[in-house]
Amino acid sequence: MSQVDLFESLVEKRVQFNNEIDQYWEQFSNIDTWQFWACVAMLIIPLIILFVLLDRTRVFEIGFYGFSIHAITLYLDTYGIKEGLWGYPFQLSPYIVSNFTLDASLIPVTFMLIYQFTFHRSRLFYISNLAGIIAFAFILKPIYEN
């Protein structure tokens, strides 16, 4: 099999797989399910809390920290899903590979607030980050997985 044939076969399989993901989302995770609305709440509520609590004098510093956390979690989550290590049965959209509510809102906002309130107390900063990592890795993420 030539390189072009193999690549076209892979693209065809990817299109078929994406169609199956769309069908699954329409049946089990669409706008009519409570899981969809729970995902919407977990996307919006942390952003509202951040808007209220954010230290406006350090907005760029804290925002860059949050963006860094977002990028790291997005890449790790996408890799884990691609490798079949985990998956999420309920999502906001079938077009986003990772769990958008966790990777774009809940996790970054949590660590942004930890950073904001504990950065100048190094021991508390590290302990709080470790507690957050453990909570997300061993408690919250497994709840979302299938």
**What pLDDT sits at residue 123?**
93
**By C-alpha distance, which of 137, 116, 139 is closest to 53?**
116
State percent of the chain over pLDDT 90: 73
This prediction has a pTM of 0.88
Residue 92 CA to residue 89 CA, distance in Å, equals 10
Q: What is the mean pLDDT of residues 132-143?
A: 88
Higher pLDDT, 86 or 10: 10
Q: What is the mean pLDDT of residues 138-146?
A: 78
